[in-house]
Amino acid sequence: MLAGTTRDPQDVVAIVPPNMAPATVEKVAINAVMAGCRPEYLPVVIAALEAVCTDEFNIHGVNATTMGASPVLVVNGPIRHRIGMNMKLGALGTGNRANATIGRAVRLIIRNLGGARPGGVDRSTLSSPMKFTMCFAEWEEGSPWDPLHVERGFAREDSVVTAFAMTSGPVQIVDQESRRPDQIAGTLGLGLEGMFLPKIRRMPVDALLVVCPEHINTLMVDGDYPKDRLRARIQEVTARPLREMVSNDISGAGIPVASAARMTPEMLETPTPKFADGKYIHIVVAGSEAGKFSAAFHGWVTGAMGSTVVSRKIDC
């Protein structure tokens, strides 16, 4: 396994919470072996571990929250092809060794070195299959847009892994009928409206939207449909009056009745979108060329009180 990197086996890759244990290259390699990685995957595992162990990502909080958050890893750049990652049919599922074992290695390191064990620091109410593994590559060649790592400031030729703290997904968004760009964009927005709960609005929370190739074809049927236009359309179709967010007999969630009573009628009629800002909607392309099924991962708390998306260049 150590043949997969030129780094010294005793180099410390990261300090892993909550035990604050030093993860040396050698210890990372041991866990990569247990996960079933090949040596050529090791640089991706190392970069992913560096990303999740930053203060910004806050892996301690990700592990400890009862919401059941877990890292979701997206790989971009030439290394996708070099190590044979899946970005097409079944990209979010089984059947690809690199996808499965890179994510698994990171989870094992977090548990074995960091000490984040279920019932201990890991206090997830329900937990999630993502706590086994969740790693996939973006199909950059099938995308009309700049890939994720380029959007995040890296060069197209760089190999990069990006870590998201997600609480659920992939949740499928099904639309086999829409034929116009704004229709399919609207569907993608409505698919995100249920994130956490439809009554919860203006969320400063990250979402990872995985758009399939057939939905991409519909978006582009009349020409270029930029990501920012898609984000704006999502915000548009999910906008609802604040009065619909008030706690009621159907659901006690949302705006407390006492708070709503202090609002003017005009305030209660204010259209409010799902997300606090379109920047929280991260968009990648993956999946089979057949099938009109996109998907979304729902985030955790974003920012200083939670987790920030972190990208790291892969040393390959």
What percent of the chain is predicted at pLDDT more than 70? Answer: 100
248 Cβ contact partners less than 8 Å away, ≥ 6 residues apart? 254
Mean pLDDT of the chain, nearest integer: 97
Whole-model pTM: value is 0.96
What percent of the chain is predicted at pLDDT more than 90? Answer: 98
163: confidence class by pLDDT, cuts 50, 70, 90: very high
Q: How far is CA 216 from CA 144, 169, 296, in A?
A: 8, 20, 15
227 Cβ contact partners less than 8 Å away, ≥ 6 residues apart? 145, 146, 151, 283
What does the pLDDT look like over 22-51, one tens digit per residue? 999 999 999 999 999 999 999 999 999 999
Question: Cα(277)–Cα(274) distance, rounded to whole angstroms?
Answer: 9
Q: How far is CA 127 from CA 61, 62, 115, 119, 231, in A?
A: 14, 11, 16, 11, 29
Which of the 8 DSSP states describes residue 118? B
Which of the 8 DSSP states describes residue 81? H
- Between strands 271-272 and 70-76, the pairing is unpaired
- Between strands 310-313 and 293-299, the pairing is unpaired
CA angle, residues 186, 149, 32, in degrees to nearest 5: 110
